[in-house]
A and B are shown apart, each in its own frame.
Chain A
Amino acid sequence: MALIFHRGIIANSQFFSRSSGVLFRRLRASRSCTSARGEGTANTLKEELIQVAPKRALEPNTHGFEAIIGIETHVQLFTLTKAFCSCPYVYGSRPNTTICPVCMGHPGTLPVLNSKVVEFAVKLGLALNCGLSMTSKFDRKHYFYPDLPKGYQISQFDIPIATKGFIDVDLPVEFGGGHRRFGITRVHMEEDAGKLLHSETGSYSQVDLNRAGVPLLEIVSEPDMRSGLEAAEYAAEIQRLVRFLGISNGNMQEGSLRCDVNVSVRPIGQSKFGTKVEIKNMNSFSAMSRAIDYEISRQVLLHSLGQSDQIFQETRLWEEGAQKTFTMRKKEGLADYRYFPEPDLPEVVLTKEFVDKLCQGLPELPEAKRRRYEKMDLAMQDVLFLANDNHVAEFFDASLENGADPKLAANWIMGDISAFLKNERLSITEIKLTPFELSELIASIKNGTISGKIGKEILFELLAKGGTVQSLIEEKDLVQASLIFLIVDPAAIEALVDKVLAANPKQLEQYRAGKTRLQGFFAGQVMKESKGKANPLVLNKILGVKLKGES
């Protein structure tokens, strides 16, 4: 356990000492519930084997070097109040309005933990397949900065609420696809700082403390990523996860999802890590990917020029305009945060009942969705699209409930419906089309009531105005006197067939002599007679019977 007497050694902020097994045994919960559901062990081995092959193919040409990438993600939680006081937090509020003496760090105040924060932390820990610490604590992390009112941040240092998990991702098809599993070192709870802005003149700075005290979950990954692509997909999956769980809106632009990346390179085969460089200021997943790839090539270049000592352990900023990383400052030794347990907060204790209840309440996670959709024989492209957004997946699943064919439903959603959403700038929860009606539409086309072309027209109506497929078909029937409605009445079609056969005795003879492909000719003739309204399925059935000579 962490803090022993160091003889004048500056406490390394990254230092954990593993000690008494007794203590840790008491702290650890049993493995997360997703593995208990049977998802885990059998599939994981297979996936790890799959991992090895595609990995090599996807690495950028790094001239015999491999990149080691680790990511620290801060997720701002969706709670109604801050972590340690009851102030609300609304993004975009007027500066310094959602504040109180507690989050302002005024003397005589005490923090009180928001119970929702623990709930969200446990949910995330379970979703990331972590082991939970049934008892954990908060610590103070000291540093001075104007956006940190108390002069310390309440965080968790040596006993985080969740440790040793993993996350499964699928790389995008257009980049080669493939499964990956990345390790999660830890997840812990902490509070956010305020915002610091610089005045236009630059002679002073400005502080907005609305955000001070907002709860964060910090997710530290194992250094398992090997390229910008893998890192970006990891971050995207974290975003998907926090949205699926409903604990954050995971928005990089708003700052509710922040990623700091650590990149180092080493010659392939070497076990010792290279110098680690931290990169900040990436505002999107694609920026992350490009920043990392740039940094990898920068470091590899220095290595190849024999200047690997020019790689310093520092923080670099990604400049979107220049598409390069620039030095922010060199790290002068390791920061001394003077961690000690937060005396004003009690232990965080989790009970088995609490954890089990949350476990059972977890929604189906993105990874499980992808595997389920894969089993439906959908193309990987479709799988990734459908499982990307929770609402889209729900819509899709709901339409299947009524018996719609998965491939057809997927096509409609990915094609016409998506195009509509994009044009109208709507989300799938805002359209008037219901999943039930989509399945009705698919069924109507499948059984021949309407053609595909008509289906598209009806879809547009349904998306914009709602209603039911049935009523629209009938409506249009009234208005345009069965222009849409195909003739399905067998007797009517029989009559047409008889007429056509009587009018073409020569072809009928040839058919009965063996030229069976003349059936197409007859079908065309009947269609012509019916002005294109004969139902093809019924038509061919009756035609087949009549041609053979049975009446």
Chain B
Amino acid sequence: MATGMTMSDATLLRRLSTLLVARSGCPRRMRLFSSYIVRGATFEPPDVSHLADSARISLAPGEVEDFGPKIRQVIDWFGQLQAVDLESVEPSVRADAEVSMYKREDTPETFENREAIIRVAPSYDDPYIKVPKVLSKE
């Protein structure tokens, strides 16, 4: 299910680097690993074709070479966070400082404009959404 979209450099860069960061692990306020990460300058160059494949983004051959160093740059920006001193910081489960205590009640609500959703499906074969034949999961 490849989406062969073309998009601007910046968007591409953002998507690919998000992907790489996700793959490698979020930069966390992990005091335990900060010293380990500083040594991460020896991080391997990103396998851009593999990344693009995972994100279902098609790249022209020239773009593959182009994006390698650019993605590396983005990762290094994140790497700068490792210099922060975390001695006095409590480890946290996720990045958010606030915890939302909102509780959604289990009360059903039917969405009114179902037709609008169906209308934007590229191919609809009532009552199903039609898709190309699928062989196996990724």
Residues of B within 8 A of A97 (CB): 114, 127
Tell me the residues in window 90-121 of chain A with beta carbons closer than 8 Å to chain B beta carbons.
94-101, 104, 106, 112-116
Given contacts A88-B110, A114-B106, contact A145 B138 (CB under 8 A): yes
Name the distance in Å between B34's Cβ and chain A's nearest Cβ: 11
**Would B133 and A99 count as touching, CB distance under 8 A?**
no
B117 at the interface (CB under 8 A from A): yes
Q: What is the interface size of chain A, counting residues whose CB is below 8 A from a CB of the partner? A: 67
Name the distance in Å between B108's Cβ and chain A's nearest Cβ: 4
Residues of B within 8 A of A203 (CB): 133
Q: Name A5's contact: one of B25, B102, B110, B129 (CB within 8 Å).
A: B25
**Would A207 and B25 count as touching, CB distance under 8 A?**
no
Residues of B within 8 A of A46 (CB): none
**Would B94 and A341 count as touching, CB distance under 8 A?**
yes
Residues of A within 8 A of B21 (CB): 340
Given contacts A99-B111, A338-B19, contact A207 B129 (CB under 8 A): yes
Name the distance in Å between A98's Cβ and chain B's nearest Cβ: 8
Name the distance in Å between B35's Cβ and chain A's nearest Cβ: 12
**Would A96 and B133 count as touching, CB distance under 8 A?**
no
Q: Name A329's contact: one of B26, B130, B136 (CB within 8 Å).
A: B136
Residues of A within 8 A of B94 (CB): 137, 341, 347
Name the distance in Å between A269's Cβ and chain B's nearest Cβ: 37
A-B pair count, CB < 8 Å, reads 164
A87 at the interface (CB under 8 A from B): yes
A16 at the interface (CB under 8 A from B): no
Given contacts A19-B32, A340-B22, contact A100 B111 (CB under 8 A): yes
CA distance A197 to B127 in the complex (A): 12
B91 at the interface (CB under 8 A from A): yes
A10 at the interface (CB under 8 A from B): yes
**Would A80 and B108 count as touching, CB distance under 8 A?**
yes
Tell me the residues in window 85-138 of chain B with beta carbons closer than 8 Å to chain A beta carbons.
91, 93-96, 98-111, 114, 117-118, 125, 127-134, 136-138
A245 at the interface (CB under 8 A from B): no
Name the distance in Å between A195's Cβ and chain B's nearest Cβ: 9
- Cβ-closest chain A residue relative to B108: A88
**Would B117 and A341 count as touching, CB distance under 8 A?**
no
Residues of B within 8 A of A205 (CB): 130-134
CA distance A104 to B133 in the complex (A): 20
**Would A346 and B100 count as touching, CB distance under 8 A?**
yes
A-B contact pairs, 9 of them (CB 8 A): A3-B25, A4-B30, A11-B23, A80-B106, A96-B128, A96-B129, A115-B104, A159-B93, A329-B136
Which residues does A use to contact B, with CB under 8 Å?
1-8, 10-11, 19-20, 22-23, 27, 79-81, 86-88, 94-101, 104, 106, 112-116, 135-137, 142-146, 159, 196-198, 202-209, 329, 335-336, 338-341, 343, 346-347, 349
**Closest 7 A/B residue pairs (Cβ):** A3-B25, A206-B128, A100-B111, A88-B108, A8-B44, A115-B103, A346-B100
Known pairs A80-B107, A146-B134; list 13 more (Cβ under 8 Å). Answer: A4-B37, A7-B42, A7-B43, A7-B44, A8-B46, A8-B47, A142-B54, A144-B138, A146-B131, A205-B130, A207-B129, A340-B22, A347-B93
